[in-house]
Amino acid sequence: MRLQAARLAAFAGLLLFIALASTAAAATTAVNIQGFAFVPPSVTINVGDSVTWTNKDAAAHSVVASGVGQTPVLTQNQSGGLSFNAAGTFSYVCGIHGASMTGTVIVRAAATPAPMAMTRRRDAAAGPAGASPACGPRNTSCACGRRSARE
């Protein structure tokens, strides 16, 4: 019972660590608005990251990203950002100048961690050194080709 409780506590701790690590890992990518264009016109980010647009033009601009939202109107040297919480390709335009100013945000799905290697504890009944873990007196035909003593 204690072992089961300890395993459950360890698993809960691992889930909490992963949740906190993924929250802390969110990044922000910068895009400038200059010369009535988005520079760079396309960025690639991960789910949970955000993009911040900074207006370098004297004219006002805003960003409208389909399915995500929009920034307020940005005057010269002002910035506004949006968070992207789903994977996909999101096009955006200037909310003031429309389709003459376009860009794209490509959002990659969250990476899944590589599986952890499982190790097996070797005990005396496992068979001779160098034998596969399936070797032993309980197995009549093991993976290493040896036969058990029962045959």
- Residues 29, 34, 39, 41, Cα dihedral to 10°: 110
3-state secondary structure of 109: coil
Strands of the 69-70 sheet, one edge to the other: 42-46, 98-108, 88-94, 63-65, 69-70
pLDDT band at 142 (very low <50, low <70, confident <90, very high): low
Q: Which residue has the higher pLDDT, 95 or 24?
A: 95
Q: What is the pLDDT of residue 107?
A: 97
What is the tens place of the pLDDT at every residue in 14-66? 544 554 444 557 899 999 999 999 999 999 999 999 999 999 999 999 999 99
0.85 exceeded by pTM: no
CA distance linking residue 91 with residue 128, whole number of Å: 62
**Residue closest to 138 by CA, chosen among 128, 130, 127:** 127
2-108 sits in which CATH class? mainly beta
Whole-angstrom distance, CA of residue 60 vs CA of residue 52? 16
pLDDT at 4: 76
Q: How far apart are CA 47 and CA 26, in angstroms?
A: 8
pLDDT at 108: 96
CB of 81 closer than 8 Å to CB of 21: no
Sequence ranges of the chain with CATH classification 2.60.40.420: 2-108
